[in-house]
Amino acid sequence: MSKNFNQERLLQVLVAPQISEKATYIADKNEQVVFIVIPDATKPEVKAAVELLFKVEVKSVQIANLKGKTKRSARGAGRRSDVKKAFVCLKPGQEINFAEGGAA
């Protein structure tokens, strides 16, 4: 893990794990875990944050920016906020188990 990152910043990079049918499929098929991250997070920051928080080794990180949808209601049009997702590929033999509430 790189030591040039601010410890407090790394603790704020990961917002939440993405728990969905698609994320579970990706986890089983590609050995990847999906996280929602802060909008200005970089790949090296995400890698360092996952290694710090979950004590696992990360092979690679892919990032996707999702634009928020425009939704209409009786009060007019609104917009969901944009989201940044990080697809974290773990090295073989590494695992993060959210069902048990921590690293496995």
Q: Please report, in tens digits, the pLDDT of each residue of the chain (104 residues total).
A: 456 778 888 889 999 999 999 998 988 888 899 999 999 999 999 999 999 888 889 999 999 999 999 999 888 999 999 999 999 998 888 777 766 554 44
Q: For residue 16, which phi and psi values (nearest 5 degrees)?
A: -165, 155
Q: Is the dihedral of CA 17, 22, 24, 27 positive or negative?
A: negative
Euclidean distance between CA atoms 104 and 98, whole angstroms? 9
- The pLDDT, as a whole number, for residue 42 is 92
Count the helices and strands in the chain (H runs, E runs).
3, 8
Q: Where along the chain do its domains lie? A: 7-93
CB atoms near residue 21 (< 10 Å): 7
pLDDT at position 104, please? 42
Could you tell me which of 77, 100, 82, 89 has the C-alpha nearest to residue 15?
82
Per CATH, the homologous superfamily of domain 7-93 is RRM (RNA recognition motif) domain (3.30.70.330)
